Amino acid sequence: MKRRVFLAVTTAIVGTAVFAGSAVADVSPPGCLSNSLDLAVTKDRLTVRNGDTVNFTVSAENTKDTPCDLTGATIKLTLPGPSGAANGQVITIASNINIPAGSVLPRLKTIPWGVALDPGVTVATAEATADGDLHDVAVGLRAVHIVKTLGTGSTQPGLSLTKTASTTGGTAPLPVTYTYTTTNISTTPVPLANVAVTDDLCAPVTYAGGDANANALLDVGETFTFTCSTTHASPGTYVDTANACGDSTIDNQKVCAPRKQATVVVTAPPVFVAQSKPSKCISIPKTLSVRAKELTTVKVTVTTGTIAGASIKLTGPGISRTGKTNSKGTVTFHVRPTKKGTLTIESDSCLDAQRVSVKSARKTQSRQVPRVTG
């Protein structure tokens, strides 16, 4: 009849013989014919990513065929190292225990492992070992070494995001187009499905291109481009944040890129204040007298507003002249009106005009030669 012994049992009785790590040579139990010690390593995750936790459970049994007793056994578990090989931390699960024939040691211990693998590693291996003395011969004890390994699939998806704005600033209302690129930077083969970009201040973000093989997947090394256009209507600093995510085709979990921001500064449009021109700004000598057919010097002075470079226009009978004032605001004209009328002086620096009457030409008397008679 088989016996079931658990981890808490460190001493077992077979018939009337007692053994507890004894070095006494014997065949125990009498008539045993097999080295039946077996280890089982179990995990609770099929595929993992860096940062996940895997729980390994180790159990042992000595039940198959006609098993011999095992004494002084030590059971260890070596966790995966960064390369994925079983060369990480070594955990002693049980030390100097006896595993009699027919024993079952379920779930000796559960060991958590935080996944931290090098880029590109696709398999992480854990290794369980059991060492002890097997009671299978009458002369001496034979050391036995049992090894069991268990692999766990590793996926290392990665997604990057860039974001640029068509302008970094301007006056309101300001139209802006944002451009986003997403690249699959996975270090293991992980095509990404349903890749999409969202922006907290711009919608909708639309796909623009990049799927070279038209398989609707963002393959490793491939880049998709998205765009979004909006108008920032009011002055202010707009700091908007974009997010990009896709679905792993390996473990069906989300893969998201670090968020990216862009800043656009919108200023208020300038306010133009219409400046009214003064009603009067032109000065001419009070003693100015103009007569038809006589050359007259007219000195014009701009007294208010823009005095330097002001445009002056002078018109009258047979006259049309323009000029610019000097730095002192004056300009001089030499005019000879053709007839009686009005001389008009205007400037773009004010609204009114100065007017001067043009007198009639002077009358001339011809000298009469005395008439000779006689």
CA distances from 322 to 77, 78, 290, 293, 315 (A): 105, 102, 18, 20, 9
Q: What pLDDT score was predicted for residue 4?
A: 35
List the domain range (segments joined by +) for residue 181.
Answer: 159-267
Structural domain contains residue 273: no
CB atoms within 10 A of CB 67: 26
What is the per-residue pLDDT for 22? Answer: 45
- 325: nearest Cα among 308, 339, 303: 308
Residues 195 and 291 sit within 8 Å (Cβ to Cβ): no
Specify whether 29 is located in the same domain as 54. Answer: yes
Please provide the size of the chain in residues: 374
- Element containing residue 333 per DSSP (H, E): strand 330-335
CA distance 186 to 188: 5
pLDDT of residue 374: 53
Query: Residue 111 forms beta bridges with which residues?
Result: 56
In a domain, 4, yes or no: no
- Count of domains for the chain: 3
Q: How far is CA 353 from the centre of its chain?
A: 65
Choose one of 267, 294, 312: the last residue of a domain. 267
**Residue 352: predicted pLDDT:** 78
Q: Do residues 186 and 236 touch, judged by C-beta distance below 8 A?
A: no
Q: How far is CA 184 from the centre of its chain?
A: 14
Task: Please give the single-letter amino acid code of residue 278.
Answer: P
Q: Examine the fold and report which residue of 154, 180, 205 is the final residue of a domain before the chain moves on.
A: 154
Structural domain contains residue 274: no
pLDDT of residue 277: 67
Print burial letters for 118-135: b (CB count within 10 Å at least 16), e (below 16).
eeebbebbbbbbbebbbb
* 347 burial via Cβ count (<10 Å: 0-12, 13-18, 19+): buried
Q: Which residues pair with 53 in a beta bridge?
A: 114
Burial of 329 (0-12, 13-18, 19+ CB in 10 A): buried
Residue 142 has phi, psi (to 5 degrees) of -105, 130
DSSP string, 140-177: S-EEEEEEEEEEEEE----EEEEEEES-SEEESSEEEE
In a domain, 184, yes or no: yes
Q: Do residues 145 and 258 share a domain?
A: no
CATH number at residue 307: 2.60.40.730
CATH number at residue 217: 2.60.40.10
Q: 16 and 126: one domain?
A: yes
The whole-number pLDDT of residue 353 equals: 85
Helix (H) or strand (E) holding 199: strand 192-199
Q: In the listed set 267, 299, 328, which residue is the last one of a domain according to the structure?
A: 267
The verdict on 68 and 84 lying in the same domain is yes
Among 106, 33, 113, which residue's Cα sits nearest to residue 75? 106
Q: Is residue 272 part of a domain?
A: no
Is the distance from CB of 135 to CB of 37 less than 8 angstroms?
Answer: no
3-state secondary structure of 241: strand
Say whether both 149 and 30 belong to one domain: yes
If asked whether residues 169 and 92 sit together in one domain, one would say no
Report yes or no on 372 lying in a domain.
no
Do residues 236 and 175 both lie within one domain? Answer: yes
User: CA 7: distance to chain centroid?
Assistant: 54
CATH number of the domain that residue 134 is part of: 2.60.40
Asked if the structure places residue 3 within a domain, the reply is: no
Full pLDDT tens readout for the chain, 374 residues: 333 333 332 323 233 233 434 445 689 999 999 999 999 999 999 999 999 999 999 999 999 999 999 999 999 999 999 999 999 999 999 999 999 999 999 888 899 999 999 999 999 999 999 999 999 998 878 899 999 999 999 999 999 999 999 999 999 999 999 999 999 999 999 999 999 999 999 999 999 999 999 999 999 999 999 999 999 999 999 999 999 999 999 999 999 999 999 999 999 998 766 556 677 788 888 888 889 899 999 999 988 877 888 899 999 999 999 999 999 989 999 999 999 999 999 988 787 788 989 899 888 765 565 666 65
Record the tokens describing residue 203, joined without a space.
């919608």
Determine if the pTM surpasses 0.85: no
Alpha-carbon radius of gyration of the chain: 52
Whether residues 125 and 33 share a domain: the answer is yes
DSSP codes joined into one string, 39-81: EEEEES-SEE-TT-EEEEEEEEEE-SSSBPPEEEEEEEEEPP-
163 in the same domain as 118: no
**Do residue 123 and residue 24 come from a single domain?**
yes
| Shared domain check, 148 and 42 | yes
Residue 238 backbone dihedrals phi, psi, to 5 degrees:
-105, 110
Residues 191 and 258 in one domain: yes
- Within a domain: 125: yes
